[in-house]
Amino acid sequence: MPSGHPLRQLLEPQSNYLIPFDEVLLILWSFIAPPTSFDNPFKFLQLADQFANGREFFDDDPRVKIRKQGLQEAQFTEKMGWDLYPVIQNLLELWEVTENYVETFVSATYATDADVARDTALQAWIAAAAAPAEGNVRGLPKMASRAALKDVLTSLIYRVTAHGISRLNNSANPVLTFSANYPPCLQSATLPSTNANLDTQALLKLLPWTGTIGELVNFYFTFVFSSPYEPFIPPGGVETNLPFPSGMKDPRNRAVVIYRDRLIEFINRYEPSNPQIGQWPLNIET
């Protein structure tokens, strides 16, 4: 995307570090990879390739995932939507605030659908992303309307933003520290029948080693207790480090400030006793 293009101004903050992070993770696999049965990065790439087979761009959007899994809001609601399934409730809130931000950006940047279709840089980017020999991303829509652009940008920015919740203490502790249930900790590829009667010795052969559990917990805490290079909420305040020109006169910058304020509200509810406002990263750096 050309320097100064509005889409680059929108996406550049979230895009920093991602490619270098992926490269470092693969090169230094044996030193920094999470506890896993994969002893080299190629096995991980093979698994990722299998996982991606047949999947399309929007498949992991929360509303799409909920629909495909057949989950009904009424079944998980007592007083407020999805309050009996708080993970979904949290992710849908992050989706909504991202969607609102993108709505303002697209409306302020492209007056009509024709403006989207005429943006040659945008068209080149989407074409490259979809090309099998380049991005190889399946399911991207034809970029001929503002609605199509909003869908793609919301999905993309949401993924980076939602990733930040993993760096908050309440995500890893105590929830993820129950790591005995996690596949990286399992010591056997053979799972017994749910009706099987296991004596203590047979059960111990299936349970994770304490050292593996310790390694995985240490992996989680590395992120929870280390500061991000760039926090989502700038240390100077929500009205600093704005990505678009003209300061607060630009409606897109005002949308950024609202986005940041909504995330602060989310963190305060998620961690009421010790909200880690500066712990949420702006991008995927670790």
CA–CA dist 87, 72 (Å, integer): 14
In the prediction, which pLDDT does 72 show?
A: 96
- For position 98, what pLDDT does the model report? 98
Q: Kindly report which listed range (131-140, 203-212, 259-268) carries the lowest average pLDDT score.
A: 203-212
Distance CA 167, CA 151 (A): 26
User: For the chain, what are the domain ranges?
Assistant: 6-167+227-279
% of the chain surpassing 70 pLDDT: 95
For residue 190, the model assigns a pLDDT of 78
- Indicate if the pLDDT at residue 180 is higher than 60: no
The pLDDT tens digits for 66-109 are 999 999 999 999 999 999 999 999 999 999 999 999 999 999 99
pLDDT in tens, 161-179: 999 998 999 988 877 776 6
Range 6-167+227-279 has CATH code 3.40.50.2030? no
pTM of the entire predicted model: 0.88
If pLDDT is split at 50, 70 and 90, which confidence band does 138 have? Answer: very high
Q: 33 pLDDT exceeds 80?
A: no
The pLDDT value recorded for residue 208 is: 77
Which tens digit of pLDDT belongs to each residue from 41-57?
998 899 888 988 999 99
What was the pLDDT predicted at 185?
66
Average pLDDT, the chain: 91
Between 181 and 231, the higher pLDDT residue: 231
